[in-house]
Amino acid sequence: MEINNTPCALITGISGQDGTYLAELLLAQGYKVVGTTRNIDTTNQDLPVTIRNKIKLVSCDTLEQQQITNIIEKHKPIEIYNFAAYSSGAGMYDDPVSISKVNGLWVTLILEAIRSVDSSIRFCQASSSELFGFADESPQSETTNFKPRSPYGAAKLYAHSMIEIYRQRYGLFACSAILFNHESPRRGLEFVTRKITNGAAKIKLGLAEELNLGNLEARRDWGFAGDYVYAMFLMLKNKEPGDYVIATGQTRSVRELCEMAFNCLGLNYLDYVHVDESAYRPVESCQLVGNADKAKNILGWKPKINFQELVKMMVEADMQILSENT
């Protein structure tokens, strides 16, 4: 369905890093973009200038079935991307009841709205590598057993399961993007990648003297958020719906991230980074790292930004932000 021959896409939770990168992509592709948020005024002020005043913001409660149904009926999107969710990271165990509702049940509400309004709408869910949790193999692919270890992962698994049910039972074009860690200058400061790049920039500018971190040997499969939302876009352009692991297939340690970030500024991280053992997170029994062969073979997707380029991008962005605000 289209409005004035212009295809419309609906992005729930548009104000996060993934939502903003996807909005930029869709606008460049000629879409009209509608984004849901809890607070329109605050969100509009916080949006990147690249999309501010170029998208339609609508208020939506993630637990109100009728609200999302009304939004779909009014704006008639041909595609829906869901980013409305509690974040991962340190908050994965906070408020399990709300996490279960927003990260799990909310997806079912969207699927039901699609089924009742227009079953031809294509849907993509931003899922997570936390589905694998206590993984029994590494790397993880679409056939790896799911063993979530947190309320966050369990809620994402419920949503993932409902997508498969609605795809099989009702024939919906619904996809699950099993996203491994993906970062950008728009990442929140509560995530270790941004904490490091922002901390290094503060030290360079004389705004801080040290940076306290947890386990420097912890490893993650880190990619660029812009690359990952492009994979989701490709999923909805494919002939058949499906689920795809989106990852780089390589892990880097927090120590490597520190070294690269500080090197970008001509600093030695060993002079400034201090280990805080109280900030340690449990070590995985099996390393979480993604096998994205299915996405590469079927969608023709592969990451364009490598780890070093990503770190440099984030450091430079934090230097600019902090310089402008001091």
152 catalytic, yes or no? yes
153, amino acid identity: G
Instruction: List the catalytic residue out of 128, 129, 176, 184.
Output: 128
Name the catalytic one among 21, 24, 79, 130: 130
Burial of 135 (0-12, 13-18, 19+ CB in 10 A): buried
Q: Which two tokens stand for residue 63?
A: 């637990």
81: annotated active-site residue: no
Give me the catalytic one of 86, 152, 244, 272.
152
Distances in whole angstroms, Cα of residue 259 to Cα of each of 10, 120, 197, 215, 308: 39, 48, 10, 14, 11
Q: Are 37 and 57 in contact (CB under 8 A)?
A: yes
Catalytic annotation present for 137: no
Strand-strand pairing, 219-220 and 79-82? unpaired
Q: Are 243 and 298 in contact (CB under 8 A)?
A: no
Distance in angstroms (rounded) separating the CA atoms of residues 292 and 283: 23
- Identify the H or E element spanning 246: strand 243-246
- For residues 215 and 256, the answer to whether their CB atoms sit within 8 Å is no
Q: What does DSSP say about strands 182-183 and 223-224: parallel, antiparallel, or unpaired?
A: parallel
Peptide bond into 139 cis (omega under 30): yes
Q: Which residues carry out catalysis?
A: 128, 130, 152
